Structure formats: structure tokens, C-alpha cells
Amino acid sequence: MDILKAEIERKRRQITNSNVLAPDKKYFKRGDLAAKQAEDYWRKHGRLQADSENTKENGESSTSKTDNTQEEKQAILPRKEVIRKLRERNEPIRLFGEEDFDSYQRLKKLEVQEPDINKDHGYDNDFKTAMDKVDEEYLVEIMKGEGSLPSNDVSVKDDGTSRDDIDQLRSEIGKGDPKKDQEVMLRFYRLILKLWGEQLNKREESLKRTNKGKMQSAFHTQTVAYLKPLFRKLKNGVVDEDILDSLVFITEHVMDKDYIKANDRYLEMAIGNAPWPIGVTMVGIHARTGREKISSRYVAHVLNDETQRKYIQAIKRLMTQAQELFPTDPSKCFNYKS
């Protein structure tokens, strides 16, 4: 009984201290007591102040966010400008259920991710670059103002090799000495480039300034640029063995003026003659049939890297020019035209 009385007295004291019981009343509601206890609890832990501050901040942030959105909508680009920019990027001008502001937001996102897709970071065009270089040199000569109109000549380098040295070069190549073979090929390819350039420079000035004449000069300029890595390897004697043999055979056939066989060797080197020219040997748990036949002469070397592809392509142009510079019987010419 003493314990029960003590508990009742404690409850009465708690109720009196919590100011739930009004002075003019003898009773109170249990809900008022629970609300007062909860308020005391949250005040003790500092939640009421934090919640009120968060609510106030959220209200201000939502208000500022709404204001920013309204300002952004007011600063939106004209619809015609948005359509033009989206079409430049090959993007749809409006998606399903999309409003003008949504289209504008999508355009902004595209501009952030790919800012210069149609300006400076497009696909490179090597031929156009070569033509631009020819045009630039032509304009530089015009700006110099050296009396008469400038010519659209190409750069020609002479290492002392002439047509009379071809027979000697033919007797030195293919003797089993890789260093000598690379030296002979370097001199022969430079000779073709020199004769090709001299032939272009002998054209009339009016022909050099035409679009066709500028294209021919651009082909020569581009070929010289493509062959620089190969010439560097030939000079140092470090050409890859997997294509050295093919280059030697191609050079021998071109010197012999047998352009049919030279073209066959070129195709064998460039694209290979294996059923799968890339050289895939394992396609699953079983080895590919005839995988032992895949060697350097069966693989498509034009697929190795971009630098090798370029000078392999340039070699084909040298073969075409050699066919014009050193004519032979039509039966030995590739794509012969009367």
C-alpha cells in the first residue's frame, strides 16, 4: 500500500508541474497530458527548434527554386533557335510529351556533354586536309606578291636516283639481305615520288589552278605524308618482318613492269587471303580448322593500325603512278586504259 501511495503522489506531482491541470479545474484530459509529455521530450532533445528551422529553410529553398525556374524560363532561347541547334546535332526537335522548355533543357544538356560536335571535333578528312594545305601554300605565295601569278607546284626531293639506276636496283633486291632490300625500296619509292612530282610541276599554270589540278597536287601531298613513317622505317632498317617480304615482292614485280602480279601481291598483303582475314583462330571450345595456315601472309595487315593502313594505301598509289611512268604491255597492266 505504501508503494501504491507513493506512485500516486509522484503522478500527482508530475501533473501539477507540467501545468496540464488548470487552477480552476479538478480534472484534465489524458490527451493533453500526452501532448505535454511529447512536447517536453522534443524540447529536451532539441528537435522542435531544428524542425522549425528546416521547415523554414525548405520553404525558402522551394521559393527560391521556383523563382530560379521562372527566371530560367524567362531566359529561354527562342523556339526557332532551339530547333536549329537540335537539327544541327541530328537530334529530334521534340520528344513525346515534351514542352518547349523541356526541349531547351535537353539542348543545354547536349551542349554540355558534346559542346563542339559540329565545329572542331568532327571526323577528320585526310584528303581535305591535304587540299587545305595546298590552298594555304597557294595563298601564301599570292600574298608574297612576287610579280607574276604563283604556281601550284608540289614539293620534290631528289636523292640522286634516276631512271638509269632501276636496273642496278633490280639486281640488288631480293638477295636475302633485309638491310639492302630496305635501302633499295627506299630509293625506288623516292624515285617514283620525284618523277610523279616533276610530272605534276610540268603542267601548264592554268591547269594547276583548276579544281582537278589542285586535287592531283593534293593526292601527291597526301601520299608524301602517308609514306613518311614507312620511309623512316626503311631508312633505319626496322620494317616489320610480316610485311617486308610482301613489299620486296611488290617492288620486284613493279621493277619488272609486271603490274598484274604486283597487284596480286599487294592484295595479299593488304587484305590477306584467309577465310577470316583478321586472324581469329579460337571461336569457342574447339580450335578452328586449318589454324596452322594462318601466318603473316594470310593476315589483313591493313587492319592493324591507322599508320600502317595509310602507307599501305600510299604504296598502291605509287604502283599506279609507276604503271604510268614505266609503261608496258597492256596484258601486264592492272586496270589498263587506252
Mean pLDDT across the stretch 160-185? 90
CA-to-CA distance for 220 and 310, rounded, in angstroms? 13
CA-to-CA distance for 174 and 184, rounded, in angstroms? 10
pLDDT-derived band at 134, boundaries 50, 70, 90: low
Question: With a threshold of 0.95, does the pTM exceed it?
Answer: no
Alpha-carbon distances of 283 from 66, 271, 280, 311, rounded to whole Å: 59, 21, 7, 31
For the chain, the average pLDDT equals 75
The pLDDT assigned to 332 comes to: 85
CA-to-CA distance for 205 and 215, rounded, in angstroms? 14
pLDDT-derived band at 59, boundaries 50, 70, 90: low
Evaluate whether 152 touches 213 at the Cβ level (below 8 Å): yes
- Checking if the pLDDT of 88 tops 70, the result is yes
- Checking if the pLDDT of 257 tops 80, the result is yes
CA-to-CA distance for 158 and 226, rounded, in angstroms? 18
The pLDDT assigned to 119 comes to: 46
The pLDDT assigned to 108 comes to: 84
Give Cα 259 to chain centroid, integer Å: 36
Mean pLDDT across the stretch 43-58? 58
Question: Lowest-confidence range among 109-118, 159-168, 322-331?
Answer: 109-118
Among 63-77, 149-163, 267-281, 309-323, top mean pLDDT goes to 309-323
The 10s digit of each residue's pLDDT in 288-297 is: 555 544 444 5
